[in-house]
Copies of this chain bind each other. A is one copy, B any other.
């Protein structure tokens, strides 16, 4: 199935040209207002991407965003994105009204993604607080692994990043050389808050298998939740 996924806005001319060629249009949106304009442009499927996500991202949390986009979508399929790392997240996304999930960070450290040595080390070492939102790569807010790069651009005396596309024109060659020569303190990667779940390099097939098995188990357990009695809690004195 030909698919065109649009990450920063869904211009009507692009949607129409792709539709004429028989392509599905997937629009990534970070706010209900973005969803409305994507639908007006003709999007077939929406990805509700919360602030938890890696890469370009807005301020609304995935948990808050998904039902709001589902309400705007009025029956069009919605995928949840931003923080999807386990089967619990997949099951929760379905509970929030999504038809499925859209993942990126979960695959960054995979065998199939073949990350460079320094990027892999940083991905596997990253904890839940090790991502930041910074304009220092593209000029737009982008969640990435925290590094000396993001720290220096956040310093009080640092210049304000340029707007898109000028920031990338300014620093793109430098970023390329940082990655090529693996300048470890400055190496970084767009990554979401699910990066904390990456603890070993695995094939994508294993990641997907575990995700589906866990989601299936969670959904089965939830089916019995409704009849279960609440557990009693007592002080730990």
Q: Cβ of B63 and Cβ of A222 under 8 Å apart?
A: no
Q: Which residues of B contact A33 (CB under 8 A)?
A: 129
Shortest Cβ-Cβ A-B pairs, 9 listed: A52-B61, A64-B83, A223-B223, A64-B193, A92-B95, A62-B63, A91-B95, A61-B61, A92-B92
Q: Tell me how many residues of A have a C-beta within 8 Å of chain B.
A: 62
Q: Cβ of A216 and Cβ of B226 under 8 Å apart?
A: yes
Q: Cβ of B61 and Cβ of A63 under 8 Å apart?
A: yes
Question: Quick check: is A55 within 8 A (CB to CB) of the other chain?
Answer: no
CB of A36 to closest CB in B, whole Å: 12
Interface of chain A residues 162 through 215 with chain B (CB within 8 A): 192-194, 196-197
- Mark A122-138 against chain B: 1 for CB-CB distance below 8 A, else 0: 00000111000000000
- Return the chain B residue nearest A80 by Cβ: B63
Given A25-B236, A88-B97, 6 other A-B residues pairs in contact with their CB atoms under 8 A:
A23-B235, A51-B61, A60-B129, A64-B192, A94-B95, A219-B223
CB of A24 to closest CB in B, whole Å: 5
Interface of chain A residues 19 through 53 with chain B (CB within 8 A): 19-20, 22-25, 31-33, 42, 44-45, 50-52
User: How many angstroms from the CA of A65 to the CA of B60 in the assembled complex?
Assistant: 14
CB of A237 to closest CB in B, whole Å: 5
Q: Which residues of B contact A95 (CB under 8 A)?
A: 88, 91-92, 94-95, 218-219, 222
- Return the chain B residue nearest A43 by Cβ: B236
User: How many angstroms from the CA of A94 to the CA of B63 in the assembled complex?
Assistant: 13
Question: Quick check: is A56 within 8 A (CB to CB) of the other chain?
Answer: no
Q: Cβ of A128 and Cβ of B225 under 8 Å apart?
A: no
Question: Quick check: is A231 within 8 A (CB to CB) of the other chain?
Answer: yes
Question: Quick check: is A74 within 8 A (CB to CB) of the other chain?
Answer: no
Question: Quick check: is A77 within 8 A (CB to CB) of the other chain?
Answer: yes
Interface of chain A residues 221 through 236 with chain B (CB within 8 A): 222-223, 225-226, 230-231, 233-236
